[in-house]
Amino acid sequence: MYKFLFLIFLFLNIFLNISVSDEKFDQDYKKIYDVYDDCIWSDTQVEHYLTIEYDLYDKLGIDESPLFLKCNKILNEVVNKDPRFKDLIDKAISEGKSKSQNIGIKIYLEFHDNILWHSKDELEIKKTLVELENNYLKRSNILTNIDAVRVYGLLGWFYNVNENFFDMQKAHDFMSIAADNEKEKYYLKYYINNLGVIYDQDRYGNFSPKKNNKIAFKLYKEAAELGLHYAYGNLGKFYVLGLGGIKKDYDSAIKFYKLKRIAPYGNDNFSELAVLFDKKRLPIDLQEYLGWLEDYLIQSKDTRVFQQLAWLSDEDEFLKNREEILINSYKWQYLCSIYCQIVEDKKRASAELSIMKKLNLTTDQIIQAERKALNWYKDKWNEASNSIIENNTSLEKKELIDLIRDALMKN
């Protein structure tokens, strides 16, 4: 009897010590995360405070990567140098703990997210990808672990846009998993839209461009019904050009481009609306539309249009003059990689150049495209503006109001 009571006492003592120890670890890690969080804030100049609070780096031309990598060193001390952390994370993953339930998982996912999107060290990124795919995702139940679903969505987009780890199969498969399993509408709309982008780019599978566009349109429509501003803009393009068998419709195009502007975070530029209002009709074909936007670019000096022209250059469903199409798309991305003012546009353009080199273009074609780009800039960029943009300053002020509006909506 006494032996039995002693064993109970010993078990309770061990259990309580483990509980106290786990609680102490939690408190220690919460303090470390707070130090990391403070780093993101305190090391930022006061005038840039709102850029962090409301995620406005892009619009102000600020590259946030150095800041996040500096502060990520604090999390690195835990993830890679604390001998206790791996065992605790393995246990938390096995138990399906979420970020809201476990501070270790929060630190773990934040650390790897920073590596994926801000590091330039390929070996470091590869190590993070192996860890997330082979340890975290393979051991997570996506039916009960929503954080795992969102890691699939994050990696799906990463594999679609990263120049060194571009993998269209993984991009499609991971984004499909995210779109099929996400429950919260805020995230779901992004995953559905991004899956549409993968088809829209004609880089996945063996479908024709027209078939891909039909699939993309359906996905964009679903994302638009959930209120995503990107999806509105994507639908506008379909109604302008009649892609995927969709009937051209001026009013529908105007409607969706307007929705892109007024939806939450809808602070894209005015180019499509500007040219359609100016012409008061739809373009006869893709080439006429590209000409309209090129004129707008020259007149407005809005560097965001470089990338719009790059994406649209590849919208010929009949694949006529495929070599010329790819060279023109490369030309506009090349110009964006040099002259775009928004940091993420520049990064995306640089990534696209690398991807096109791997997938599509020969060395001679790349030289030709870059020569065309520099000649265009020399010949066209200094042309005087005319009727489409009478007061570009007024448009810039409106876009600043958009940023303030979105900040308030986020708050």
> pLDDT by residue (tens digit) across 1-15?
544 444 444 443 444
Residue 215 has pLDDT above 90, yes or no: yes
pLDDT at residue 395, as a whole number: 41
> pLDDT by residue (tens digit) across 241-258?
999 999 999 999 999 999
Give CA–CA dist 18/41, Å, rounded: 35
pLDDT at residue 267, as a whole number: 62
The residue-averaged pLDDT of 173-189 equals: 97
| DSSP state letter for 73 | H
Q: What angle do CA 218, 241, 378 make, to 5 degrees?
A: 125
Largest CA distance in the chain: 98
The residue-averaged pLDDT of 23-42 equals: 84
Closest by Cα among 315, 329, 318, 308 to 373: 329
Give CA–CA dist 373/375, Å, rounded: 5
- The tokens describing 122, both together, are 């390929």
Identify whether the C-beta of residue 378 lies closer than 8 Å to the C-beta of residue 372.
Answer: no
Q: What percent of the chain is modeled with pLDDT above 90? A: 66
Give CA–CA dist 254/277, Å, rounded: 9
> Which are the contacts of 362, defined by CB distance < 8 A and separation ≥ 6?
none
Q: What is the pTM of this model?
A: 0.84
Q: Which residue type is seen at 105?
A: I
> pLDDT by residue (tens digit) across 276-335?
999 999 999 999 999 999 999 999 999 999 999 999 999 988 876 788 999 999 999 999
- The tokens describing 240, both together, are 């302008």
Q: pLDDT averaged over the chain?
A: 84
Place of tokens 């920073």: 114
Give CA–CA dist 2/16, Å, rounded: 21
